[in-house]
Structure 1
């Protein structure tokens, strides 16, 4: 049954028989047969069919939730047995919001020192993408906001508090001030992350509350693109203090804390809600709980 559930999960994700078969490395007839065998075994129709995939039935939606849990449990069992034989090995897959990418090395470097046979795959993701990747077993865990928008049923460990700075060239008109109010940014051209990013929604809220029109000259999902425009044009961007720090060394840039309000949001590890945790997740959660002591 496990192979049939995996085929069903692939179809639910791809929402297309051909793409699901390709992802599974099988032919489309083989995948279709596996889905029909699963339906026969469970005694319900899982997929609405026509000339192409038309969605899951209500029963299919319920089976999808069970399939994710069963698949996760089987993976956890295999991982636990392997860890008992060999210690932790393999790849730890993390989805990380762009503004936390600069901080993730602090966690992975300590984890690697404790478990030297582990490797890491780190991808940038919005909060929505991060949660979807965890649910679909495409990421083992994520790093993102804990306190701004609903996360659903997950396990979280706070890592640090995010505070905001205005980053600008050292010759910018506002660079001679030690700190700035959010309202001071009405005087400058801004470049910001795209609206699908939770960081942008947070920042836009503070700007609007201060009476600043949110009409950036540049929108991007890359902090490197933001900084390159600050350097090239003299515009201003807003970044978390930790995220900005890696760009300041050796560059003609300054970062000025933003006040009124002195906004702060919690960043943390986000992991699947599952008991017992796999050895990999247990070790990662333990390392995350030591993060603020590093």
Structure 2
């Protein structure tokens, strides 16, 4: 039954039989058979079918909520039993906003050093995708903003507050300065993260507070692309302090602290709201508290 519920969850997520089957590593006929058997067992139609996936029926929508709960509980029980036999072990799927990837690496490395049987799969996603992946069981835990946009019903642990720096080429007119403020960037050619990223929305608010309309003819959802553009051309970008220091190391770049703007937002771990947490997630969140910077 659990396997069939997982098939149903995957189909609801992918909205396509072929992609859902691929995500589970099974054939499409196996998936279709599993869904039909689940419908027969429950005595209701869950999926609108035609030549392709047509959405969930009202009964399917209701079943999806229960399926996520049941599958989540089953995975938690499995992890608890495994921890009883083997100690902390398994793989943690960690979904992370792009600007927190250096922190994610630091967290995973230090946790794995203490718990070598725990592996990590670190996925770069927008803040909205982080929450969606936790809800749909695609991720076990996330690393995202905690106090800027609504999180919903989750458990969280703060790690640090995000401050910003200007990254420019060492030949840029602003490179000789020790610091900058948001108003200084009124006429600067910028490359910034795409608007679907919460970091970009925070940056836009900082510009709004300074009365500035940013010039950003190049956008990307990758911080690596932003810094590559700054190395190659007459651009500048804005990145969190930790990320800027990492990406600018060894490059002909200058990193200038940015003064002013809106109060710094907190970034931290976001986990499903459940009691108890799995042993691995509970240990990871405790580890995050120990690493946190006030």
Q: Give the TM bin, normalised by the shorter chain.
A: over 0.9
C-alpha distance in 2 between matches for 1:23 and 1:172: 46
C-alpha distance in 1 between matches for 2:12 and 2:251: 47
Q: Kindly tell me: are residues 21 and 262 of structure 1, through their superposed partners in 2, closer, same or farther at Cα, counting changes over 3 Å?
A: closer
1:87 counterpart residue number: 87
1:253 counterpart residue number: 253
Q: Kindly tell me: are residues 45 and 20 of structure 1, through their superposed partners in 2, closer, same or farther at Cα, counting changes over 3 Å?
A: same
Flag structure 1 segments of 5+ consecutive residues without an equivalent. none
C-alpha distance in 2 between matches for 1:293 and 1:115: 22
Check conservation: 2:97, 2:143, Cα contact below 8 A.
yes
Deviation at 1:20, TM superposition (A): 2.5
Check conservation: 2:94, 2:143, Cα contact below 8 A.
yes
TM-score (norm 2): 0.93
- Runs of 4+ in structure 1 deviating by more than 6 angstroms, as ranges, are none
Q: Secondary structure at the match of 1:290?
A: helix
Deviation at 1:267, TM superposition (A): 0.5
2:114 counterpart residue number: 114
C-alpha distance in 1 between matches for 2:293 and 2:209: 35
Aligned residue pairs, count: 294
Deviations 1:89-136 (A, max 9, x none): 222211111111112222112211220122221121111221122122
Check conservation: 2:157, 2:268, Cα contact below 8 A.
yes
TM-score (norm 1): 0.93
Q: Kindly tell me: are residues 275 and 215 of structure 1, through their superposed partners in 2, closer, same or farther at Cα, counting changes over 3 Å?
A: same
C-alpha distance in 2 between matches for 1:244 and 1:126: 18
C-alpha distance in 2 between matches for 1:254 and 1:22: 45
1:151 counterpart residue number: 151
- Counting only pairs closer than 5 Å after superposition, residues 17-96 of structure 1 correspond to structure 2 as 17-96=17-96
Flag structure 2 segments of 5+ consecutive residues without an equivalent. none
Deviations 1:196-224 (A, max 9, x none): 11111111222133232233131111111
1:175 counterpart residue number: 175
Check conservation: 1:208, 1:214, Cα contact below 8 A.
no
Q: Secondary structure at the match of 1:173?
A: coil
Deviation at 1:289, TM superposition (A): 1.1
Check conservation: 1:165, 1:241, Cα contact below 8 A.
yes
2:210 counterpart residue number: 210
Q: Kindly tell me: are residues 207 and 24 of structure 1, through their superposed partners in 2, closer, same or farther at Cα, counting changes over 3 Å?
A: same
C-alpha distance in 2 between matches for 1:184 and 1:24: 51
Q: Secondary structure at the match of 1:149?
A: coil
Q: Kindly tell me: are residues 211 and 39 of structure 1, through their superposed partners in 2, closer, same or farther at Cα, counting changes over 3 Å?
A: same
Deviations 1:160-183 (A, max 9, x none): 000111111233212233322211
Check conservation: 2:76, 2:277, Cα contact below 8 A.
yes
1:125 aligns with 2:128: no
Relative to structure 2, which stretch is displaced further, 233-242 or 251-260? 251-260
Relative to structure 2, which stretch is displaced further, 101-110 or 160-169? 101-110
